[in-house]
Amino acid sequence: VNPYLNTGIVSNRHSIITNSSLKDPNTNYHLSMVPPGESYAIKLGNDFSNYQAEAIKYTFRVDTNDFDILIMKYAVVLENPEHNLFNQPRFKMEILDSSNVLIDSCGYADFYASSSLGWNFFNDIVWKNWTTIGIDLSNYHNRIINLRFTTYDCNLGAHFGYAYFNLSCGRKNIRQMTCGDVNNLIFEAPLGFNYQWYSAVNPNVFSTSRTIIIPSDNQLYFCKCSSLEDAECNFTLSVLAQRQYPYADFQFIIDNCQKKIQLIDNSIISSSNDSAVGNTPCDSIIWILPGNSPYYDINPTFFFDTAGTYPISIIAFIGNGLCIDTFKTDIIIPDNMINNITFSPFDNNICQGDSLSISINDVFDNYYWSNGDTTNSIIVSPTDTSEIYIRAFDSYGCEKIDSVTIYVNPIQTTNINDSICQGQTYNLYGFNEDSAGMHKKTLMNIYGCDSIIYLNLKVNPVFRDTIYAEICKGGTFNQYGFDEDSTGIYSHQFQSILGCDSIIYLNLNVNPYYNDTIYAEICLGKTYNMYGFNESHEGLYYQHLQTEEGCDSSVTLNLYIQEMGQFQSIFEENELVVDNFPITLDASCDYCNNYNWNSGSKDSLYTVYQYGLYIVSYENACGQFLDSIFLISPEVSVFVPNAFTPLEYTNNIFFPVYVDDGKVEIESFEIYNRWG
């Protein structure tokens, strides 16, 4: 299987492990899947078998100014099926050039699963615990190299192999862990090697530890660092056993054209407590820039906008922060260093055809406008919206570039064709017109430019008509949208095809229809021939007519036949006893007329005030007749004594007269003796 044919990340075969508490189950949970003290590990491969092989390649350019040692921590888990060596599961790491050719055997390792490796065992698993190795890259400065890791299952496809690794960078130097006025010094060699310490006066190895403690004797000491995998790969470092002190210092370069201050760290580890002796950089530094903001870059850039005093501090650390030194200075930016292009206040909106003056407030040595002018003030008359550019050079030779946009607003002419209805007023766009014709209005837009509007106004007529109409009672006038059945004046509003309201007035008259009954009599043998009738027999007759307004009417004839010479008594009795006056005599009868009383009254009703005989004559269809009635007074019952013997003062002194029906007036009273 060739793991280099395809590219890309394959799930469960290229994995990032970030949980530092995880343990590998194939090592009986003894191997941590993340190296101690680290936050991640890369897992290459898995514990599935099926002729699998995986690779990861890192490509980078070596810059020994930053780091010159590659530190790799790795662990390997291989199943050991006891195949032929070259059929066994396998892990390989190598350093290649840009053509993938091996360039350094010191960074090369190739492990096949075998009990002879001296690794840990669990069942048929051999596994290597986390191992840290350093690889010297100082010979590859500014070269592009490839760091490649590869894992293989067994060639028979039934057994797995995988690995974990973590990469970081370091410096190829001996770190002094102590500082200041101490008698014993602590030195630490780079991580990931075997170590042999000896001095210039005694070549015998006195320590194989990474860290040593020696007196501050100003002697020269050496440390031989050898690869853990190949002792032939080694290098030797030296260090002078003397006290060291941090010396904080920096320089700065002001670029007033870019308005920036370039800060350069000059802090060193000095062998003197009060001066700069040496050239080794401090372990770390912190910059304190204006605003008390800390910066950790080695050589940061600070930008300024205004003139003034800018305090800058640098703090240098050595000995894991045990010793520090601070250097502070004020950087002064004078007013003449700050020169920006600022335009005099102006309105950059102009109307078409207008001119505009543009001025620069600041003083420069040279001006170059985009229109060719070379003064600090120009007059422009652009016809369209334009960008005006200015290049100016100050006394320091700094070029400033800026621009301003001039917005040219056209004088707008708008033609409007519109219409209104008669009686309305057109009041849009500032107009107030009610007559037809061409009207003009000059307005000002939001930019202060004239805007002319021409209004071609048409006035559409409004129609008002009156309809005079008649209907018969019971009918409905339902034309032109009306629905009326009563006499009166009504109106209905319509809209013409031009959208104008039109009003129709209806003056409606409701003509009556007639349904009358005629009561008439004729003498026997006569004919009734009025109102279109022609009848000679008693009975009810009907006639349908039409009025002169065209309305249907009906006439009913109730015809009575009077026999010739037949007397008809008007009064029920010939005599009538009357108690009180006045009294009204009623001589009316059916089909009777031409009444004439003996008193001269011509009415059928006659009011009388006294007793007597009253005669009335009348006529009907058969001739003239008479009738009379006699009004008499009622009888009065009077009770009086029929005999009495008056004696003065003693007998029958009262003579009673009694009436049993109310009070009566006695007109005369006579008394006779017994002889009459």
Neighbours of 15 (CB within 10 A): 17
What is residue 567's predicted lDDT score, i.e. its pLDDT?
Answer: 55
Where do the domains of the chain lie? Answer: 14-170, 175-240, 245-336, 339-409, 412-460, 464-511, 515-562, 582-676
What is residue 170's predicted lDDT score, i.e. its pLDDT?
Answer: 93
Q: 132 has which bridge partners?
A: 73
CA distance 288 to 286: 7
Q: Do domains 245-336 and 339-409 have the same CATH topology?
A: yes
CA distance 424 to 669: 104
CA distance 121 to 32: 15
Backbone φ and ψ for 467, nearest 5 degrees, come out as -110, 125
CA distance 579 to 389: 135
For residue 343, give both structure tokens.
Answer: 């335009």
Architecture of domain 245-336: Sandwich (2.60)
The listed CATH number (2.160.10.10, 3.40.1180.10, 3.30.1050.10, 2.60.40.10) that belongs to domain 339-409? 2.60.40.10
* Residue 582 preceded by cis peptide, ω within 30: yes
Assigned fold of 14-170: Jelly Rolls (2.60.120)
CA distance 329 to 352: 57
CA distance 76 to 651: 179
Residue segments in the chain with a per-residue pLDDT below the cut of 50: none
Half-sphere exposure of 212 (CA within 13 A, CB side): 21
- What single-letter DSSP state applies at residue 458? E
For 383-401, give one letter per residue: b (16+ CB within 10 A) or e. Answer: eeebebebbbbbeeebebe
Where do the DSSP E strands lie in 18-156? 41-44, 53-61, 69-79, 90-96, 102-112, 120-122, 125-136, 144-152
What is residue 564's predicted lDDT score, i.e. its pLDDT?
Answer: 59
What is residue 264's predicted lDDT score, i.e. its pLDDT?
Answer: 95
The number of helices, as runs of H, and strands, as runs of E, in the chain is 0, 49
